[in-house]
Amino acid sequence: MNLIGALLLFVGLALSSLYLFPSGGPQLADFVMIVFAGVMLLMSLGDKHLKVSSFAMCWGLMVLWVVMVCLCWTLVMETTDFFMPALFFLFNFLIGMGLLRFLSVYGERATSLIRNSVSIALLVAGGFVLVQLALGINRTTGSFNNPNQLAYFSLCGVVVLLMLDDFHPKMRPLALAGLASGVLGILSASSLAAMGGGVMVLVGWAMANAKQVKYFARLLLVVPLLLGGIVIANISSEGQVLRNLEARMDRAPSKVDSVYEERKFDRLTNFPAYAILGAGEAKRERFAPYDGAEIHSSYINMLFAYGLPGLALFLSMIVIVLRRAPLYIWAGVAGPLIYSTTHNGLRSTLFWILLVICWHLYRQGSIAASRRRFVFNSPSEMT
């Protein structure tokens, strides 16, 4: 069973960037990952020292509140449309709990498996990006259905890979190739929010490496290699990467001016009463004429759809995850969090995996102290 769980996690994460079906429904990797979660849940039944941490409890309460809001609106509106958003939250919670158990049992071996599988996922997306750039596509989607999915996945993937090495990346060819593919994905998707988040990740990387000569030397070596890869991609696509960036930068002022209406923030200001307990994420015709697309912000969407309790629990999770982490981790994780201000990233499984890994590594305030606690085949802890 242990080997089966490891294989399922590896395959699920490696395929997580491959979208074969329309957005809003399960992808191939989701089927693999839910089986992984089931295997972990089954194995946890035999654990003798199972503990529930504040992180898991806060996450569980948030999912419970989301389900309750969706159930109430299902009864009021007499429709099952509210169940699909709740399933996203429940699915990611189950994956997160399964991953927490896997990490607590296998420690270093688990982090190595995650590092390799996430690197492969980024390389899969990067391979599609290179093909699309060569075809002259303006905003690439990689192996996803739209550019924003590519940008967010790439941003989260880069943070995961850096975090697994405590923001001191080792000279591992697969991981370095994954980092380069992640940077390429962020730039080629031409997402201004993702590039802004990428700057924060770079700041965290510099903070972590600047004080130690050997790590700073690696930084000086790796950065030109990453930039060189981007330059090669730009040349091979006849300058398409640079043209994409210039086009998005030219649009930046107009996008900032229209962010309030374009991202549907006006729905909250015109229907503020729903922010108390939440309006759910379906039947948007209730909010005409502000009933267009979904709210493009993790925070405002959480506030409007699930009210003050939902937003408070979500923010509490973030605080619990980061409260004992060093400042450079705060800066690195700020990358995806900044992206989430103008995009709804709560459905992305990799975002929740990022939080799980951060909690696992830094909950004791020291990554070294944390790693010393885990011994192969030690009793698991639902942390």
Residue indicated by tokens 């080792």: 170
Q: pLDDT digit string (tens) for 172-230? A: 899 989 998 999 899 888 788 888 899 999 999 888 887 776 666 666 666 676 666 66
Those residues whose C-beta lies under 8 Å from the C-beta of residue 350, and which sit 6 or more positions away, are 16, 118, 153, 156, 157, 160
67 versus 208: which is more confidently predicted? 67
Question: Does residue 352 surpass a pLDDT of 80?
Answer: yes
For the question of whether the overall pTM of this predicted structure is more than 0.85, the answer is yes
Task: State percent of the chain over pLDDT 70.
Answer: 82
d(CA 98, CA 168): 27
Residue indicated by tokens 């089986």: 35
**Burial category of 42 from C-beta neighbours within 10 Å (exposed 0-12, middle 13-18, buried 19 and up):** exposed
Helix (H) and strand (E) counts in the chain: 16, 0
Give the mean pLDDT of the chain: 85
Q: pLDDT digit string (tens) for 227-256? A: 666 666 666 655 666 666 666 565 555 555
d(CA 310, CA 319): 14
Question: Does residue 258 surpass a pLDDT of 80?
Answer: no
136 versus 82: which is more confidently predicted? 82
Of 8-12, 51-55, 97-101, 346-350, give the lowest mean pLDDT range: 51-55
118 versus 265: which is more confidently predicted? 118
pLDDT for position 379: 41
Residues 82, 88, 90, 95, Cα dihedral to 10°: 170
Sign of CA dihedral 265, 267, 273, 279: negative
pLDDT for position 378: 41
Please give the average per-residue pLDDT across 18-45, as a whole number: 92
H or E element: which one contains 128? helix 108-134
pLDDT for position 31: 96
Sign of CA dihedral 318, 320, 323, 327: negative
Q: pLDDT digit string (tens) for 288-339? A: 888 888 898 999 999 999 999 999 999 999 999 999 999 999 999 999 999 9
Residues 273, 276, 280, 282, Cα dihedral to 10°: 10
**Burial category of 220 from C-beta neighbours within 10 Å (exposed 0-12, middle 13-18, buried 19 and up):** exposed
pLDDT for position 188: 85
50 versus 208: which is more confidently predicted? 208
**In one letter, which amino acid is 294?**
E
Task: State percent of the chain over pLDDT 90.
Answer: 56
